[in-house]
A and B are shown apart, each in its own frame.
Chain A
Amino acid sequence: DTAVSQTPKYLVTQMGNDKSIKCEQNLGHDTMYWYKQDSKKFLKIMFSYNNKELIINETVPNRFSPKSPDKAHLNLHINSLELGDSAVYFCASSLRGGNEKLFFGSGTQLSVL
């Protein structure tokens, strides 16, 4: 039973399209995150939510919009996809927030053509 699951695992799409990535955690954690791993392999935080409340909102284009319907789910919607959005996106969760250990999903490889 996967702790942090995200779907889809692979997403190939055309420039200009709108797509969503879903994330669910069954660990009972309070905080969820979206990270982006770029072509240089750096993992950079995009957003974090604690009990459905936005805590961290990095300098991310407003084409990216997270949505947290409840504390077990954090979805990422991306509008008007651009070539530079191609990356691996990781969802993660932590028990209370702060910087205690993160539990990551297996990632979504997004390729924008």
Chain B
Amino acid sequence: DQQVKQNSPSLSVQEGRISILNCDYTNSMFDYFLWYKKYPAEGPTFLISISSIKDKNEDGRFTVFLNKSAKHLSLHIVPSQPGDSAVYFCAAAGSKTSYDKVIFGPGTSLSVIP
């Protein structure tokens, strides 16, 4: 029962272009969404988050878009850099302040080609 789906296991993008990573969720009770980035042999690191009261959140080259009616979010990276090559996990939770468990997707492996 995958409540958080990332249907693209991998993605390749040329340096300087836009990377778009997609995430879908099934539980309409999710209210808070996060993206984490993971390099090999390291733990995931927090990248950006968004609450359901917003449809967009931006932090430098990273923007997350939320379409709650479609239960879909996406992470845009512009411009993509070789150092962005990593696995990106989408995650969802009931709210930012609750003790509900965070549900992670399976990840999308991004390769940025110089």
Q: How large is the interface on B (under 10, 10 to 19, 20 to 34, 35 or more residues)?
A: 20 to 34
Interface status of A55 (Cβ within 8 A of chain B): yes
How many of chain A's residues have a CB under 8 angstroms from any CB in B?
25
* Complex CA–CA separation, A55 to B102 (angstroms): 13
The number of residue pairs between A and B whose CB atoms lie closer than 8 Å in the complex comes to 62
Contacts A101-B49, A105-B43 known; A43 to B104 CB distance under 8 Å? yes
* Complex CA–CA separation, A102 to B44 (angstroms): 9
* Complex CA–CA separation, A43 to B93 (angstroms): 14
**A contact residues around B44 at 8 Å (CB):** 43, 90, 102, 104
Are A98 and B97 in touch, CB under 8 angstroms?
Answer: yes
**A contact residues around B96 at 8 Å (CB):** 98-100
**Which residues of B are at the interface with A, using a C-beta cutoff of 8 A?**
32, 34, 36, 41-46, 49, 87, 89, 91, 93-102, 104-107
**B contact residues around A58 at 8 Å (CB):** 101
Q: For residue B4, which residue of chain A has the nearest CB?
A: A42
Chain A: minimal CB distance from B1 (Å): 11
Chain A: minimal CB distance from B13 (Å): 20
Contacts A44-B104, A98-B97 known; A106 to B42 CB distance under 8 Å? yes
